[in-house]
């Protein structure tokens, strides 16, 4: 007699799912709660979306630029608050335009070399995503760091400084309030202001467009 017919709590054998990738298996498990039923979706590069040209792109920034022209209003990211209410969205064109302006800020004021590390001190959200893509547009490496807690600088600020040091970040990108916090008197008592790399405020961005995307050698 098969043990699975008389003992119900034995682990069930792994099933082979034809033409279903690991991501679909994961999604199916989450949705079903126990075992995979069916999970399938359209091809990311579906011909029906007129995105054949995307197959020829080598970098994610090339794909984003193309998507900003072919599907500008497609929502890529949605930000929810603690009550699961939508508070902000980011479309293809919005992401590319803001990332482009951040890239211009880096080139004009930061003047980084290709491959330099840039610390992104942002809370999780739209600003962090835009700054991340802005770094990719100019060929620098984004290093994401959670901002220090204003009420616990003694513990959290040295951690931020340590990550910036270890990653050898040559610049810091952040918002005005965070930069103000890093340069405050209270923060200076924990980490000397002069020890920070140059900081750039992404709340104050140039309006010109990027002349050329970064291309890897």
Contact 175/202 with Cβ under 8 angstroms? yes
CATH number of 101-201: 3.40.50.980
pLDDT digits (tens, 9 = 90+) for 156-213: 999 999 999 999 999 999 999 999 999 999 999 999 999 999 999 999 888 777 777 6
62-70, long-range: CB < 8 A, 24+ apart = 62/213, 64/92, 64/95, 64/96, 64/99, 64/133, 65/96, 65/213, 67/92, 67/96, 68/92, 68/93, 68/95, 68/96, 68/97
Average pLDDT over residues 44-57: 52
Pairing of strands 199-201, 169-174: parallel
C-alpha to C-alpha distance for 127 and 120, rounded to whole angstroms = 10
In DSSP terms, 80 is beta-bridged to: 86
Q: Check residue 209 and give its pLDDT.
A: 74
Q: Rounded to 5 degrees, what angle do the CA atoms 45, 124, 130 make?
A: 50
Say whether pTM exceeds 0.75.
no
If one compares 37 and 179, the residue with the highest pLDDT of the two is 179
Domain borders along the chain are 18-48, 49-91, 101-201
If one compares 69 and 27, the residue with the highest pLDDT of the two is 69
Task: Check whether 18 has a pLDDT greater than 90.
Answer: no
Q: How confident is the model at residue 38 (pLDDT cuts 50, 70, 90)?
A: very low
Q: Check residue 192 and give its pLDDT.
A: 92
Residue 3's nearest CA partner among 35, 11, 15, 34 is 11
pLDDT digits (tens, 9 = 90+) for 63-106: 899 999 999 999 999 998 888 889 999 999 999 999 999 999 99
Average pLDDT over residues 138-160: 94
Task: Check whether 30 has a pLDDT greater than 80.
Answer: no
Q: Check residue 206 and give its pLDDT.
A: 82
């Amino acid at each position: 007699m098969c043990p699975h017919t008389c003992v119900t709590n034995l682990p069930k054998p792994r099933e082979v799912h034809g033409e279903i990738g690991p991501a679909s298996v994961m999604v199916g498990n989450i949705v079903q709660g126990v075992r995979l039923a069916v999970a399938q979706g359209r091809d990311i590069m579906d011909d029906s979306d007129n995105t054949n040209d995307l197959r020829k792109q080598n970098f994610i920034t090339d794909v984003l630029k193309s998507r900003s022209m072919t599907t500008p209003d497609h929502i890529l990211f949605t930000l929810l608050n603690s009550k699961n209410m939508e508070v902000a969205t980011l479309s293809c064109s919005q992401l590319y335009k803001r990332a482009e302006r951040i890239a211009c800020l880096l080139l004009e004021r930061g003047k980084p070399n290709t491959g330099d590390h840039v610390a992104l001190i942002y809370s999780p959200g739209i600003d962090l995503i835009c700054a991340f893509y802005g770094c990719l547009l100019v060929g620098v490496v984004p290093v994401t760091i959670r901002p220090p807690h204003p009420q616990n600088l003694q513990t959290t600020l040295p951690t931020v400084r340590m990550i910036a040091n270890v990653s050898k970040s040559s610049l810091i990108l952040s918002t005005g309030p965070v930069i103000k916090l890093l340069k405050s008197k209270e923060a200076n008592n924990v980490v000397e202001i002069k020890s920070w790399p140059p900081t750039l405020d992404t709340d104050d961005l140039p309006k010109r467009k990027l002349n050329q995307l970064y291309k890897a050698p």
